[in-house]
Structure formats: C-alpha cells, structure tokens
Structure 1
Amino acid sequence: MNRDVIKCIKTCVALVVIVILLDVLFGQIMSFYSKRYGLPGDYAKIEYLFRQSQDDVLILGSSVAINSFMPAPMMDSLGVSIFNGGCNAQNLVFFRCVVDGALKHHQPRGIILVLQPDELAFDDMGRISLLNPYYGQSSLIDSTLALQNNGKAAFFLHSNLYRYNTVWFRILLQSFLPKEEMANYGFVAKHKPLLLPEFNDLGSRPDDRFVAPDKLQSLQAIIGQVQADDVELLVVIPPCYKRLMAGGNPYSKQLLKQVCQEHGVQVMDYSEMDYFWQRPELFYDNSHLNGEGANVFTQMFIGQILKSEFYQRVKNKSDESNKN
C-alpha cells in the first residue's frame, strides 16, 4: 500500500479519535457544570422543573403563559405556592415532555396548562431542540427528540457537541444579562408598545378543520398522565387580540374543549372576551398581554379560579399535606 495512503488513513483515524475524546470531555464538562450551576437562559426553567421545584401548582405553556400569569398575587390570594414554567415558542409536544420530566421529580397538587385557541392546529414541533441536553434522561424525551428533522437527528443526539452546541453561548450571555427567566416566579412582563396593536380579524377566513395528530395525542397523553398521578389539571386559554374565524371559535378549539370535557378537565376560555378586545392598551401584540394587561387578567383569573373545583381540590391536598 502506498505510504501516502497509509499516512492519510492514520491521519483520519487520529482525527476521529480526537473528535471522540473532545466529545466525551465536552460532555463531562457540561454535565458537571449543569449539575453544579444549572443551565442558563431558556434552560433555567427546565432545570428548575426537572430538579428543584416543590411548588403546589405549576403553570406550563408558551410565551403566552409567561406573559399572562403573575404568580405573586396569585399566591397571596390562593394560599398555595405557584411557579410559572412557561417556555418561549413551545407547544403541546414540548409540554408533554416537560410534564413527564417535572412529575418524575416532584408531584405538584395541580397543573395549569396554558394553550392558545388554535393550539391543536400547529403543525410543527416548535423549539423542541431546547430539550437536546436532556437526551438520555427519559424514553419520552429521547423518542420525541429523535423525530427532529424527519428522524435524522437520532444519530447526532448521541454527540455531546451536538446536544450542547448552543448552551456554551448562553452561559457566556448569562455573565452580562440578568436571569429574567426566573424573576417573579417565572413571570416576565412585556412592555407596552409605542404603537398599540391593531385588531386582527380573520373572521372571513374559512376553517379548514385541520388538527395536527401529534398535538392531539400530546394533549391526551398529558391528561392521562396527570390524572394517573392524581394531579389536578386546569386548561386556560388567555386573552388574545384577534378573531380566528366567525365567532372566534375554530374547530381546533372546539375539539380541545371536547377532549377536556370527556376527561373531566375544566377549560377557562378568555380568548373571545369583549372586555379585552375593546382594550388594545392591555396588549403587547395580537397574542401577548403587556405587563398592565397581565395584571388585569391575573386579578380576573384569581376571582374565577377561587370558585373552581380545581382550586378547591388543590387547596384540600395542600392543607392535608401540611397537617401531615
């Protein structure tokens, strides 16, 4: 065999060995760092839910949850501990994994699942890659992450360099930016925009009655899991500054409510309220409340939840636990 060919093979083998060693070393460093300091940025809430939370009630959802629910006044009025575990740009596929991971760590008294009116019609996986660092920690997370990029991610997920490829940058940013994700028990207020949003009326748009199968399956799985673990569940659809179709009631929301009703889960729907549709000053954009709007909505929500069976059951469980 030609010496140049042999030399080339040796070089390639050496490079492969070096990459493998770097991959293993990087994984060890990130594992040590995450266990000692936790992961920063968007990962902070996942770290908290998977490893630290002892709260009575968890609020889960996307940015709509983050910007709508203020745990501090809720705790003052309800007398139970609450954490807003919403994560930006996520949907039911992600929520299912988070519920599974959170319940493996701690069994709360209740979960408030915050959804959008057309939640079941989102035909995408959102930012599911946010869970990449947790690959190998549960079969559900592993099987869900393997579906990324039409199943092409399964091979790369074995690599520490791939799984943690954005974490190091967030660690660097943490040195300069405040830990806003964990402030105010997970709530983050959006500012009032200089220009108020215009009402987005899609009432003339036909409803194609499309429902993403993975979203529907995820919703059903969440309900099944929390009920099996004796955790109370409440589904809430917060105010939005838009009409999705005539009457504001798309098929996906009808089906969402139907599934919840069949399993005895209460749904509080605020998405079609004239009170909010007449007050653009309470919104940041068509989907998110601003800080003032969150305060108004939270107070309204407190008044309603105090009368709910969900709260009564959560409070009873909390009181019984405190007695023991």
Structure 2
Amino acid sequence: MKRLFIKLLILSVFLFGLDWGGGLILRRILNNSPDGRYYKAIYTLDSSTEDLLIFGSSRAEANYVPDEFRESLGFSTWNAGRGGQFLPFWYSLYLGMGKRHIPKVVIINVENDFLKAKDRSSAFERAGFLRPFYKTHLPIQPILDKISKSEHIMIKSDLYAFNSSFYYLLRPFVFQGVDGKREDMGWKPLSGTMALQKGKPKIVKESDSELSPLFVELFEKFVSDLNSNGTKVFICISPDFGRIVQETSTLNYLKSMKGINLIDFSSNTEFITNYKLYKDRDHLNIQGARLFSQALAKEIAENL
C-alpha cells in the first residue's frame, strides 16, 4: 500500500511538473507572438488605448479600416474584430480590459439575425480561444465557465488552457501577416474581387423569428457596461452583396433598444448591388472596406 502511494505521489508530481512546465513554455510563446490572433487578443486586453474600438466577427475584421476612422473622426482606432467569433468572445474581450482603458466610442458590428434563437452552444466554445487568459483576466471567467459544467475545473490545467490553440499560437512564427499586419491596427484586408454577379438582390423580411433570451441578456449587459462607463455605442450592420434586409426580429429589437446608435447598411443598395466592392458575398474587399468605413465614419460624425 505504501509503495502504491509513493508511486501515485511520484506520478502526480510528474504530471503537475509537465503541466506547469508545458504551460510556462506555451505562455512564453504566446507573449512573444509577432502578430496573428493571439497578438491581437493580447493587445486588445492589455495594451489598447485607442479612442475608438471595433468589436465583431469576420465582417468587423475585414470591413472596418482604422485609418479611415482616424482620418475622418480624429480618433485613434483599433479593430478588435475576430473571424469566426461571436457575442461571448466580444464581451469577454471588453470585460478582460477591465477599467484599464475606457474608449470614447465603441462600434459593434452585428449580423441582422445575430440574436435569433438557434443553436448558439458553439459560440461559447469558440470563446474558449481566450482560455490562456482565464487566470490573468478574472472578469472573463463567468463567460468562459459557460462553455461546459466542468470548464472551471478543467481550466486549472495549463496545458488544457492551450489545448485548442497550438495552430494559431505557432502559425505567426512561420507565416507572418496572415491575420493582418501590425500597422493595420487589427484590420484584416481582403484583396481580390468576387466574380461578376447578375440578377436582382434578394429581399429579406422575417420579423417573426424568436430571439434567444440568453444572447439578448448578454448583449444588453455588454451595452449597459459600455454606457455606464460613458462610452458612446454604435451598433452597425454592414452590407452583404445581393441581399436587401428590410426587416428581421433582431433588427426590430435593436431599433427598440435605448443607449445605442443603430447604423444599418444592410439595405444600402450603393454597396449591396456592386459586386466589385466584395471579396465574397459576406465580406468587402480593400476598396469596399475603405468606402464603407468612410461612409460609416460620416454617419458617426453626425451622431457625436
């Protein structure tokens, strides 16, 4: 019995050392990332001091050009958008910043159905990208704990925190600039133009879709936190090619919200019908992004 106990003790010490040492190495790699997704997260959480911050998914990351907002509004700008992420990630980034920096203006890019009730379980799992910051940025813990019932236990392991991060952690050391260059201030420019498109735009009108109570609550908390800190909040829906959005349940809800300024480009035919401004149906190319950012900055200026 005593021999078994000693063996178990040795194994436990070995596993603890492996976890601690592996985590130490991975965190050093993380903190020295030359660019990429983790560099962007670290900058947003720990270093951003810009007047204007942009949150959202891939549309935010590709469609919003910081230089255009700086030149039009005189505000230093950082694009914290992240492709493939959703509301739990955006809010976690903001919570993780804490009171370190309170921006003057925040733009949140949303899709016209982002509050629609559907399976959103993957949204919290995707926010698990921020697991390496769980122990150092305490305000994000309640969001990441929603990933699963055992998350708050599993996250005690340093190796688990980096479990799904190896690819994005190591990629910048091999292929730099994939997620945008440092001088682009978080913007991920998309070059190229989609193929010639013909036909009339599709009309979207669905106002009877059920909204998700969980994400409505999370979004209202996000906006409430921003407002309580004195930040001017702009909610923007950027245009998609070939789709005119007349009405959705999410859009109706946003129009009823207080404490925000809603700027909706989802029915702007100047952008929607011009395929030359798009990389694909959902994302503007470099030319389109600059024109869109200029138009949006003008709208914001009128509301400041």
Q: State if a TM-score over 0.5 links the two structures.
A: yes
Paired residue type of 1:201: K
* Equivalent residue pairs, number: 297
Gaps of at least 5 residues in structure 2 are: none
Structure with max Cα Rg = 1
Residues in 2 aligned to 1:294 and 1:194: alpha-carbon distance in whole angstroms: 14
- SS of 2:99's equivalent? helix
| C-alpha displacement of 1:81 | 0.5
| C-alpha displacement of 1:171 | 4.0
Residue 115 of structure 1 is matched in structure 2 by: 110
State how 1:1-324 maps to structure 2 within 5 Å. 11-35=7-31, 37=32, 41-121=36-116, 123-124=119-120, 125-126=122-123, 127-148=126-147, 150-179=148-177, 180-181=179-180, 182-193=182-193, 195-196=195-196, 201=202, 203=204, 208-243=208-243, 248-259=246-257, 262-263=258-259, 265-309=260-304
Cα pair distance change 1:169/1:73, threshold 3 Å? same
Tell me if the contact between 2:112 and 2:248 (Cα under 8 Å) persists in the aligned partners. Answer: yes
Residues in 2 aligned to 1:21 and 1:10: alpha-carbon distance in whole angstroms: 16
Q: Name the structure with the higher strand share.
A: 2
Residue 316 of structure 1 is matched in structure 2 by: none
Return the TM-score normalized by structure 1.
0.82
Paired residue type of 1:297: F
Return the TM-score normalized by structure 2.
0.87
| C-alpha displacement of 1:142 | 1.4
| C-alpha displacement of 1:169 | 3.8
Paired residue type of 1:25: G
Tell me if the contact between 1:200 and 1:286 (Cα under 8 Å) persists in the aligned partners. Answer: no
Cα pair distance change 1:95/1:194, threshold 3 Å? closer
| C-alpha displacement of 1:113 | 1.1
- SS of 1:88's equivalent? coil
Gaps of at least 5 residues in structure 1 are: 310-324
What's the C-alpha RMSD, in Å, of the aligned pairs? 2.6
| C-alpha displacement of 1:14 | 3.2
Residues in 2 aligned to 1:38 and 1:169: alpha-carbon distance in whole angstroms: 12
Q: Deviations over 1:154-198 (max 9, x none)?
A: 321111011012444434322221134434111111122453567
| C-alpha displacement of 1:253 | 1.7
Residues in 1 aligned to 2:194 and 2:275: alpha-carbon distance in whole angstroms: 12
Cα pair distance change 1:251/1:170, threshold 3 Å? closer
